[in-house]
Structure 1
Amino acid sequence: MPLLHAISLISLAWVLIHLLYRLCKPKAPLLPTFTNAPTSRASRSWATDNSISTTVTVNKVQLRIETSAFNSRHEQLASRLRDRRSKRLRKWVITFYNAGVGAGICGLVLGLLTLLWITGDSLLARIILQSSKLSSHDKRALDVEGSAQFNAQNYIWLVIPGLTVPWTHLPLIIIAVCFCQIVHEIGHAVAGALYSVPILSSGLTVTLIIPSAFVSFSTALMGSLDAFSKAQIIAAGPWHNFLLWIFLIGLGKSAGIVENATGLGTALVNLGWEDLSKEGRVVVEIDNDSPLNAVLKVGSVITALDDVSLAGEQDKWSQYLMPPSSTDVPWYGWCVSRELFQADSADCCKTAHPTLDHLCFDSLGHGKGCLNPIPILSTSHDQFRCRTGGDCHDDALCVQPDSSSSSILRLSVQGQDLTLWNGPKKEVWEQVIVDRYTPRFWFIPSSATGSLNDFWSYLQMATLSLFMFNLLPLPFLDGAQLLNALINHAYPAVEPESIDMESGRRSSTSTSTGSQWKRRIERLVQTGTVCLVVVYFVLGVWTLV
Structure 2
Amino acid sequence: MDVTTVLGSVILLHTFFYYLDRYLKGKNSQRYSSFLNRFPVQIDFMNVRWTTSMFNKALCSWAMMRLKFLSKWYNVGTVITLLLCIPSLILLGSTALVSFENMMTNKKEEAMLQPVVPGVNLPSYDLPYYLITLLVCTVVHEAGHAIAAVSDQVPLVSIGLILWLIIPAAFVELPTSNVVGLSPWKQLKIYCAGVWHNIVLSAMAFAVLMMLPILLIPLFQSGAGVSVVNLNAYSTDGHHDFQVGDQLTQINDCHVTGVESWRLCLTAVLLESSGFCLDNSYLASSSSSDQLGCCNDSELSRSHLCFLSSPNFVPKKYHCLRAREVSQLSSAWCSNHKGCSSVNQSCLMPSFHSESVNETDSSRLIIVKRKSADPVLFAGLPNEIYLSVYVSDYVPRIFIGPQFINFIEHLLRYISSFSAGLAVLNVVPCIFMDGHHIVGALSEIAFEGRGSISMKRQTQYALVFLGTSLVVINIAFGVLTLFL
TM (norm. structure 1) is: 0.60
Task: Kindly name which structure, 1 or 2, has the bigger radius of gyration based on alpha carbons.
Answer: 2
Contact 1:188–1:237 (8 Å) recurs in 2: yes
Call closer, same or farther: CA 1:483–1:281 in 2, change over 3 Å.
same
Residues of 2 paired with 1:226 and 1:92: CA distance? 20
SS for the counterpart of 1:470 is helix
* Candidates 442, 459, 483, aligned match of 1:486: 442
Call closer, same or farther: CA 1:434–1:7 in 2, change over 3 Å.
farther
Call closer, same or farther: CA 1:58–1:447 in 2, change over 3 Å.
same
Residues of 2 paired with 1:328 and 1:158: CA distance? 34
User: Is it true that 1:235 corresponds to 2:181 in the alignment?
Assistant: no
Residues of 2 paired with 1:527 and 1:122: CA distance? 15
- Report the equivalent of 2:172: 215
Deviation at 1:205? 1.4
Residues of 1 paired with 2:146 and 2:93: CA distance? 32
Residues of 2 paired with 1:163 and 1:375: CA distance? 41
- Count, aligned residues: 413
- Please tell me the residue identity of whatever aligns with 1:490: A
SS for the counterpart of 2:219 is helix
* Candidates 139, 163, 179, aligned match of 1:182: 139
Deviation at 1:168? 3.6
Contact 1:301–1:413 (8 Å) recurs in 2: no
* Candidates 227, 230, 233, aligned match of 1:285: 230
Deviation at 1:102? 1.2
Deviation at 1:215? 0.4
- Report the equivalent of 1:64: 49
Residues of 2 paired with 1:125 and 1:10: CA distance? 29
Call closer, same or farther: CA 1:417–1:447 in 2, change over 3 Å.
closer
Residues of 2 paired with 1:439 and 1:116: CA distance? 45
- Please tell me the residue identity of whatever aligns with 2:272: Y
1:267-306 alignment, distance < 5 Å: 268-270=218-220, 275=221, 277-278=223-224, 280-287=225-232, 290-291=234-235, 293=237, 295-300=241-246
The answer for unaligned runs of 5 or more in structure 2 is 276-320, 338-350, 354-359
Deviation per residue, 1:257-315 (Å, 9 max, x gap): xx4xxxx742x214xxxx5854x43333335x6446564333445567899x5723344
Residues of 2 paired with 1:409 and 1:158: CA distance? 37
Deviation at 1:200? 2.0
Contact 1:277–1:312 (8 Å) recurs in 2: yes
* Candidates 404, 408, 413, aligned match of 2:368: 413
Deviation at 1:238? 1.2
Deviation per residue, 1:163-207 (Å, 9 max, x gap): 555444332332233223211111100111133222222111122
- Please tell me the residue identity of whatever aligns with 1:297: Q
* Candidates 23, 30, 33, aligned match of 1:30: 33
- Report the equivalent of 1:532: 474
The answer for unaligned runs of 5 or more in structure 1 is 32-43, 48-53, 81-85, 131-149, 322-326, 336-373, 386-398, 495-509
Residues of 2 paired with 1:317 and 1:297: CA distance? 16
Deviation per residue, 1:497-526 (Å, 9 max, x gap): xxxxxxxxxxxxx98464245323421332
Deviation at 1:46? 2.2
- Please tell me the residue identity of whatever aligns with 1:484: G
- Report the equivalent of 2:89: 112
Residues of 1 paired with 2:10 and 2:416: CA distance? 28
Deviation per residue, 1:96-140 (Å, 9 max, x gap): 22222211112221111122234435655776676xxxxxxxxxx
Calculate the aligned-residue CA RMSD, in Å. 5.0
SS for the counterpart of 1:196 is coil
Residues of 1 paired with 2:433 and 2:426: CA distance? 6
- Please tell me the residue identity of whatever aligns with 1:65: W
- Report the equivalent of 1:151: 109
- Report the equivalent of 2:37: 46
Deviation at 1:384? 5.1
User: Is it true that 1:451 corresponds to 2:454 in the alignment?
Assistant: no
Contact 1:302–1:310 (8 Å) recurs in 2: no
Contact 1:57–1:65 (8 Å) recurs in 2: yes
Residues of 1 paired with 2:255 and 2:46: CA distance? 42
- Report the equivalent of 1:389: none
Call closer, same or farther: CA 1:126–1:162 in 2, change over 3 Å.
closer
- Please tell me the residue identity of whatever aligns with 2:413: S
Call closer, same or farther: CA 1:317–1:117 in 2, change over 3 Å.
farther
Contact 1:75–1:193 (8 Å) recurs in 2: yes
Deviation at 1:62? 2.4
Residues of 1 paired with 2:212 and 2:386: CA distance? 30
- Please tell me the residue identity of whatever aligns with 1:451: F
